Amino acid sequence: MRVLSGIQPTGRFHWGNYFGAIQQYIDLQNEDESYYFIANLHALTTLRDREALQRNTLDAALDLLALGLDPEKAVLFVQSDVPEVSELCWILMTTTPLGQLERCTAFKDKKAKGISADAGLFTYPVLMAADILAFESDVVPVGQDQIQHLEVTRDLAQKFNHLFGETFVLPKPKVLDHSAKVPGVDGEKMSKSYDNTVEIFEPLKQQRKKLMRIVTDSRAMEDPKEPETDHLFQLYSLFASDAQKEEMAATYRQGGFGYGMVKKALAEVSETYFAEARERREELAAQPEKVREILGDGAATARKKAAQVLLRAQQACGLKSL
């Protein structure tokens, strides 16, 4: 079973990225053959700063490795280092119905928000399809908002197979578990677009200040409170042990506490949770050439696999002889 997923380097990873996706990527590497890539080509649809893109790409690699992605177990590479994917994207584009792309929810939503509707944003699902099909991916971990794109991938693969013969493996989605919803500092879903994130590796002093500013309700200290509906408790629960959660829940229901106490407890458990990852990241940041070597080795492995699939597609449609 081969698993593939990518993550865009549009900014530093935050708690929502970790609990919503990265943690599960790391778990999957122990079960299946795994390919993970830093999607810098996709990032170009929104990030138009050369230095920022290069810095974010290296930071993404550092963060993933520090958080537990093991290059001995999973293939980690930068998307643009595997040009076979871009060539496969063009081949797929030639058989992609225009109307299918126009119906993609992500494109319509971004256009409605005033984001420039350029060709890159419009054809994003085709590049995503090429990413997946180039590695004969059986399973693709996706969020609920990405399922439609995976359905497009399956449609494009089936259409190509129908026109030119069996060429591509049809992938299946593995919907990421978002049961542990990660609220931002304002109580809404944690997202860079809402500017409400807590970055995994931001300086601890800066992070503590951010946590102490988390929005809470105005109920009196003595009032009992329901923990399960409180976003501050939800954040605490991501990091706390079962015993710590039970104790904090009892405090909520009893009342007679201030939210400042909970914020301090959140800072302590989150710092403990990521302490080892912080140490690993500092070690890796001091060895950038080692990180680039890992990415280079990953790209070489990825190119070998993608080249096999690309050649099969080229031969199927007549670009190369059998």
From the list 134, 153, 156, the residue with the least C-alpha distance to 142 is 153
Q: Which of 73, 189, 210, 245 is catalytic?
A: 189
Which pLDDT does position 297 carry in this prediction?
A: 98
Given a contact cutoff of 8 angstroms between Cβ atoms, the answer to whether 301 and 135 are in contact is no
3-state SS of the chain: helix, strand, coil percent to 5?
60, 10, 30
Which pLDDT does position 49 carry in this prediction?
A: 96
Q: Which of 73, 159, 174, 192 is catalytic?
A: 192
Which pLDDT does position 59 carry in this prediction?
A: 97
Given a contact cutoff of 8 angstroms between Cβ atoms, the answer to whether 53 and 43 are in contact is yes
Rounded CA-CA distance 171/111 in Å is 28
Which pLDDT does position 178 carry in this prediction?
A: 55
- CB burial string 7-34: b at 16+ within 10 A, e below: bbbbbbbbbbbbbbbbbbbbebbeebbb
Which residues fall within 8 angstroms of residue 256, CB to CB, at 6 or more apart?
221, 222
SS3 state at 136: coil
Rounded CA-CA distance 234/187 in Å is 10
> Would you call 320 a catalytic residue per the annotation?
no
Q: Which of 110, 225, 263, 305 is catalytic?
A: 110
Which pLDDT does position 32 carry in this prediction?
A: 75
The domain ranges of the chain are 2-181+287-317, 202-273
pTM recorded for the entire structure = 0.93
> Would you call 264 a catalytic residue per the annotation?
no
SS3 state at 142: strand
Which pLDDT does position 221 carry in this prediction?
A: 87
Rounded CA-CA distance 251/265 in Å is 12
- Cα dihedral sign, 248-236-239-189: positive
Which residues fall within 8 angstroms of residue 189, CB to CB, at 6 or more apart?
16, 181, 182, 183
Superfamily of domain 2-181+287-317: HUPs (3.40.50.620)
> Would you call 189 a catalytic residue per the annotation?
yes
Which pLDDT does position 111 carry in this prediction?
A: 74
Residues of the chain under the 70 pLDDT cut: 177-180
SS3 state at 280: helix
Which pLDDT does position 118 carry in this prediction?
A: 86
Which pLDDT does position 121 carry in this prediction?
A: 87
CATH class of 202-273: mainly alpha
